[in-house]
Amino acid sequence: MKTRVFLVEDHQLMMSALKKSLERDDSIEFRGEAPSGEKAIEILSEKDPEVDVVVMDLGLPGISGIETTRLLKQAHPEIHVLIFTVHQLEEEIFSAFSSGADGYCLKETDIASLRLGIQAVSMGSLYIDPQIAHLAVRRIQSFFPANEGNPLTARETEVLRLLSEGLSNKEIGQEIQISLSTVKAHIQSILQKLSATTRAEAAVKAMKKGLI
């Protein structure tokens, strides 16, 4: 099945270039666009298009991409959000994931990496642009000492480690030889124990606490 993508971008030239690039990919179906966070929420909430991934700019007019992501994930937790931006400060990266983003991709990357990010988050994986991965890890690890108690079982920790590496549920099951339903059960338990609502948030919290 094709991944259904919605774009939130205020620069028309960038929007046009992205649309053309994504429409050439047979695995992606373009489902709409918005020039602002307010308009994106309006379209996605009122018209309710069938969308798998929202590619979200951060520097939007009106409410920011981070606030738009937070509101969108509250209303539609099933929609995955991939941040696509020039911003690469640690605080912005951390704030984006804290708002519920599933991935973070830089605009200076090539289109192949953007497509990889779209496909990764559409499968429920966490995606961090390789160019800023070290910033994300450093920022996250600075919050809590690594010796805090681990509420997760050994198997849950293993599942969460693989999840944070970008593996899909199916790939995790194949890697550690457990069924897909068991993987899903472990992930649900992980979310509950870490008080997280998304896989990305669970990975971030686990890295904060030094659990993985």
Reported as a single tens digit per residue, the pLDDT across 152-165 is: 888 888 898 888 88
Q: What are phi and psi of 21, to 5 degrees?
A: -65, -45
Question: What's the mean pLDDT in 17-44?
Answer: 91
Q: List the chain domain ranges.
A: 3-139, 144-208
Confidence band for 117, pLDDT divided at 50, 70 and 90: very high
How far from 117 is each of 17, 149, 203, CA to CA, in Å? 17, 32, 16
Mean pLDDT of the chain: 85
The CB density around residue 10, as the number of other CB atoms within 10 Å, is 17
Answer whether residue 211 shows pLDDT above 70.
Answer: yes
* pTM over 0.85, yes/no: no
- Which residue type is seen at 7? L
Nearest CA to 138 out of 83, 212, 207 is that of: 207
CA distance linking residue 98 with residue 84, whole number of Å: 16
Question: What's the mean pLDDT in 37-53?
Answer: 86
The single residue listed with the structure tokens 């790939």 is: 171
Reported as a single tens digit per residue, the pLDDT across 50-71 is: 899 999 999 898 999 999 999 9
Protein fold of 3-139: Rossmann fold (3.40.50)
Q: Specify burial of residue 154 (Cβ count, 10 A radius: 0-12, 13-18, 19+).
A: exposed
Highest mean pLDDT among 54-58, 75-79, 198-202: 54-58
Q: Specify burial of residue 134 (Cβ count, 10 A radius: 0-12, 13-18, 19+).
A: exposed
> In the 8-state DSSP scheme, what is residue 47?
I
Q: Beta partners for 191? A: none
Reported as a single tens digit per residue, the pLDDT across 166-176 is: 888 899 999 98
Class of domain 144-208: mainly alpha
